[in-house]
Homo-oligomer: A and B are copies of this chain.
Amino acid sequence: MIPTLEWLPEGVNFLDQTKLPLEETYVLATDYKQVATVIRDMIVRGAPAIGVSGAMGVAIGIDRSTAATIADLTAEVALICDLLASTRPTAVNLFWGINRIRELYNTLAAQPGASIAAIKQAVVAEARRMYDEDIAACKQMGAHGAHLLPKQGTVLTHCNAGALATCGYGTALGVIRAAIEQGHNIDVLADETRPFLQGARLTAWEMMKDNIPTTVICDNMAASLMHAGKLQAIVVGADRIAANGDVANKIGTYGVAILAKEHGIPFYVACPWSTIDLATPNGDAIPIEQRAAIEVTHHGGKQLTPNGVGIENPAFDVTPARYVTAIITERGVLRQPYGEALQGLEAATASAR
């Protein structure tokens, strides 16, 4: 079990993903401000993990509060949620995670005779439940999606949509793990994923922990390997999926999707339902985080570029729905047209509740 994040009595403990693969160290966040810093600095990253981290951030903020009245606590909750929501803009799971605890808080706080102690207990329990649900959702994605992967072959993934991007097991890498557990003979090809190198550092690290044969390539090598017939499927995660099926994911995903289409290779997206944002009509409406130039200009303290050159560093891009062969969720596998498929599965799940 890869300990991406964990609720402990003393705080939320995060595996420091900026230090992998060479160091396995932890950052203990003992208040919500520290959780916000952990998310902003990408000590934890990956949309589902960020979602649960946001929930745990609100929960720890409420739990550690010294407010003496519900009114004071409510005011504090607003500040807590605002800070956590300001950390990263693209992954909708963050807002989903924050809002789920906030809504529970609002419901409990509005009840006659609401007790601060009982509220604290309830929000912490809810955040911890979301952790368990996230792992269960990953396992379900695996169960639904494993048959899509080849019985024998190489599967390319971009960035890290694994145990390290979730509370465990992974979304895209969860589907790969499930296929392997079902007897598929799969090699993983990991795009290194510049500039933050989540593929080279994180996907490679967690695949090797599980003894899954893995090869790292530079992002710009995928096309020639596709041309040579060296990979049979692609599976990636997502940071937000709009109502029409457009997929925001790590920068470079869109390019991989175009290459997949050009070579007739299936391109799958795996994510929990909390990544789906039916309130956002299409990819153009998804905010794309721009990160600091230093992620591109430097590595390991060494400067790569000449002083003063311009730099672009968008952290995500949008893959139009037409490039996506299927979307794998814990509720099932969706196919085009995604607008109808997403609405249908949302309605079916709501009516089944």
Q: Which residues of A contact B (CB under 8 A)?
A: 21-22, 191-195, 197, 200-201, 204-205, 207-208, 213-225, 227, 251-252, 254-255, 258-259, 261-262, 296-297, 299-306, 308-314, 317-318
A–B complex contacts, Cβ < 8 Å, 7 sampled: A193-B220, A197-B304, A201-B305, A220-B252, A221-B251, A223-B255, A300-B301
For A314, list chain B residues within 8 Å (CB).
221, 224
**Chain B proximity of A254: nearest CB distance (Å):** 5
> Chain A interface secondary structure, helix, strand, loop or mixed?
mixed
**Chain B proximity of A81: nearest CB distance (Å):** 30
Q: Residue A251 contacts which of B194, B218, B304, B310 (CB distance < 8 angstroms)?
A: B218
Judge whether A204 and B255 touch: CB under 8 Å. no
Residue among A213, A223, A252, A299 with the most chain B CB within 10 A?
A: A223
Are A309 and B220 also in contact (CB < 8 A) when A227-B254, A258-B262, A300-B302 are? no
**Chain B proximity of A230: nearest CB distance (Å):** 9
Copies in the complex: 2
For the complex, give the distance between the alpha carbons of A254 and B302 in Å: 29
Are A216 and B259 also in contact (CB < 8 A) when A21-B305, A296-B192, A304-B192 are? no
Judge whether A299 and B296 touch: CB under 8 Å. no
For the complex, give the distance between the alpha carbons of A192 and B259 in Å: 19
Are A303 and B22 also in contact (CB < 8 A) when A218-B195, A310-B214, A314-B221 are? yes
For A299, list chain B residues within 8 Å (CB).
299-300, 302, 304
For the complex, give the distance between the alpha carbons of A258 and B227 in Å: 11
Q: Residue A213 contacts which of B216, B222, B259, B310 (CB distance < 8 angstroms)?
A: B310
For the complex, give the distance between the alpha carbons of A227 and B192 in Å: 22
**Chain B proximity of A319: nearest CB distance (Å):** 9
Known: A200-B304, A216-B309; 4 extra A-B contacts, CB below 8 A, are: A197-B304, A200-B296, A225-B312, A227-B318
Judge whether B204 and A219 touch: CB under 8 Å. no
Judge whether B220 and A306 touch: CB under 8 Å. no
